[in-house]
Structure 1
Amino acid sequence: MKTTIAYLATATALVALATAAQAQDKKTLAIVVKGLDNPFFEQINLGCQKWMSENADSEYQCLYTGPASSADEAGEVQIVDDLLTSGVAAIAISPSNAPAMANRVREIAPDVPVMTIDADFLEADRDLRTTYLGTDNYLMGVKMAEEAAKLKPEGGTVCLQLGNVAADNINARAQGFRDTAGGAEGIERLAGEGGWTEIEGCPVFTNDQADLANQQMADTFIANPDLDAFILVGGWAQFAPQAYSQVTDQVMDKLNSKELIIIAGDTLPPQTQAFRDGRSHAQVGQRPFEMGYKAPDVMIQLIEGQTVEDPLYTGLDVCNQDDPGFCKDN
């Protein structure tokens, strides 16, 4: 029932925005994210709004939308369906469930440019989109493994915290971590390679929910008092700073001594604060604002038939104890 209400509210908002765009004789460049409840995606929205403010006289408008909850995979597919059916000039999609989204886009066979942003389709479905704009997610996982190796050169026991099971970007990060930590390509699960072993019960999947992410961390720390490393492949737990502080309070002695290390994805303000407070040892950050700011121009280039590179990577920011870098003042 909650999902239905949330979808209806989103659909109503979409209709209102589309009507407003028609009244202004504007063509819509849509950005559809996994969920409006995730602060990471709000940075994409801010980038979209920045583009709007700088292009007030453009014939295009940037529309940022998505399901109310990041757990509503079906809702995101329905929103994309509605937008493509009602008519948009181009669309950028961050698919939560990559196979399900690709199946629907293939069924619709839209005649407008489709690109992905933040998260990509699976390799077999990439013919459906013209380009991908966002992070090199495999490289992000590589960077996380490199930071872990600096702190634990002999390896140790590790738990990976992932998002949605079918999220291509998160799975790519996990693969980058495993391959780099284990010293070989295609490792499905670390079982001693490079000195690293994934513990029983891990990886854990948050479904992009901050409360569940923090509960998983707490449960893992209690059940595995000798754990060497916890890797937040995405920043979910840190998006709820009070809960994250309460969880890490229980292991601060271990964090301070580096008996237990935490490496986390993303560098939003509550996350850089957690890093400065010693509640993580390294952060590997994406650039979501840049994604939202660049996406409208990329879509316009696609509409105009220009050649666009594929993929379009937006870079990474790495913070660690030797070089706080981006996390020092943000």
Structure 2
Amino acid sequence: MKKGKFIAGALLAATLLAVGAGCSAKKSDGASSDAKKTLYFVPIVDTGAYWNPMKKGAEDAAKKLGYTLVTKTSPSAEPSKKEKHIGFIKEATAKGVAGIAVAPIEKKAFVKPIKEAMSKDIPVITFDADLANKDDRTAYVGTDNVSAGKELGKKAAEEMKAKGITKGSIAIVCVDVAQPTMIDREKGLKEGFEEVYGADAKNFKFLATIQDNDQPSESKKQLEGYISANKDLVTVFSLGSEGPDVGVMGAIESQGKAGQILHYGFDYTDTWLKGVDDGRITAIVDQDAYQIGYQVIEDLVKASKGEKLDKTIPIDVKYVKAADLKAYGVEKSKIKTTETDK
């Protein structure tokens, strides 16, 4: 009897050990099996007409491919935003996840944590914004922001020349002047503008760039000040996100300049439709945000399985005039619905 009890006890202990081992099963590299089916997605924010469909694209791709997607971000006005997002990368690295997709807020500060993740065989794909050195990340998926800015600058300059505008002040409004996307877009914008105007570009003055931290009341207030102080203000560029979009259109309206000051924007949002009829928006360049989100997850899974990726995977932009925005928005909605149903 004692022998039987001993055997039963030994079997029970072995069973418990096996269950415990199963619950905490580890890969040889120290990452849990669950972590190896988990991807971290770290956008700058995850709300708004640009970021929300991008998040949806990432979620749809992860679901289709059988991965768990963990989205980590913080509000636009978060004081320690950069540090928090760097912390998300470190958190994902410590967990040994299958891959990390991140929109870096700065070009330099994110290099070290990204390289640390890659040193542990975790692929890191940047999107929306990129690092200065291509070798510091696995790949970049998204718009070439310098090229996109240049396209906007060239198209705007061509239209301004056609309207007989030969001089004046120009304002640029963005969320954060230190954000890589904004730096690159402004650089390209000025290059494209100067390419079209040539020597006459010196007749225009670019005012100090307005930063609103995605707060429309701030960009509205600052641009109202610019309009009052610069009677020759002819054009405004808003370089992305709802804050500048809403703030610029509000300032143009409050100062009675609708249809007089040209306004060129970045990325499609239904907000633009409110300014079409009275001329508060002239044209935009648009990125396919949903496709960026979907593509980045597809490529991240490929990289996690050892597939070699191109260092840059571009997503093209489209130039859309105000008169075409409504129809364009309808088509974008159809495309997004089709992609979701894949």
TM-score normalised by structure 2 residue count? 0.75
CA–CA distance in structure 2, aligned partners of residues 141 and 222 of structure 1: 27
Measured in 2, the distance between the counterparts of 1:321 and 1:209 equals 24
204, 215, 235: which one pairs with 1:196? 204
Structure number, greater radius of gyration: 2
- The unaligned stretches of length 5 or more in structure 1 are 1-21, 185-189
- Quick check: 1:248 aligned with 2:252? yes
**CA–CA distance in structure 2, aligned partners of residues 183 and 97 of structure 1:** 28
Residues 25-34 or 309-318, more deviating = 25-34
TM-aligned CA distance change 1:329 to 1:226, over 3 Å: farther
Find the partner of 2:72 among 38, 45, 65: 65
Aligned alpha-carbon RMSD (Å)? 2.8
Q: What is the DSSP-based 3-state SS (H/G/I as helix, E as strand, rest coil) of the residue aligned with 2:258?
A: helix
CA distance 1:321–1:244, shift in 2 (3 Å): closer
Tell me, yes or no, if structure 1 residue 230 matches structure 2 residue 236: yes
Matches within 5 A, 1:37-48: 37-48=47-58
* Contact 2:50 2:269 (8 Å CA) reproduced: yes
Could you tell me which residue of structure 2 aligns to residue 29 of structure 1?
A: 39
Task: Kindly provide the amino acid, as one letter, of the partner of residue 132 in structure 1.
Answer: Y
Match of 2:85 among 58, 76, 86: 76
- Taking a change above 3 Å as real, the CA distance of residues 250 and 112 of structure 1, as seen in their structure-2 partners, is same
Equivalent residue of 1:228, what SS?
A: strand
CA contact (8 A) 2:262 2:281 kept: yes
Q: Deviations 1:280-306 (Å, cap 9, x if unpaired)?
A: 101111111111111211011111222
Report the Cα distance in structure 2 between the residues aligned to 1:53 and 1:277, rounded to whole angstroms: 42
Give the match for residue 316 of structure 1.
Answer: 317
SS in 2 for 1:83: helix
1:146 CA drift (Å)? 2.2
Identity of aligned residues (%): 21
Counterpart contact for 1:47–1:290, Cα < 8 Å: yes
Q: 1:82 to 1:38 in 2, by over 3 A?
A: farther
| Aligned: 1:163 with 2:189 | no
Q: Equivalent residue of 1:138, what SS?
A: helix
Aligned pair in 2 of structure 1 residues 304, 277: CA closer, same or farther (>3 Å)? farther
Distance 2:135 2:62 in 1: 29
Question: 2:148 aligns to what?
Answer: 140
Name the residue aligned to 1:173: 185
Give the secondary structure class of the aligned counterpart of 1:152.
helix
Q: Deviations over 1:297-327 (max 9, x none)?
A: 1011111222222311111122114654625
Equivalent positions of 1:206-217 (< 5 A) are 206-217=212-223
Is the Cα–Cα contact under 8 Å of residues 272 and 327 in structure 1 kept in the other structure? no
Question: Match for 2:254: what amino acid?
Answer: Q
Question: Within 2, Cα distance between the matches of 1:148 and 1:301?
Answer: 39
Whether the aligned pair in 2 keeps the contact of 1:96 and 1:164 (CA below 8 Å) is: no
Q: Letter of the aligned partner of 2:147 in structure 1?
A: L
The separation in 1 between residues aligned to 2:34 and 2:114, in whole angstroms, is 28
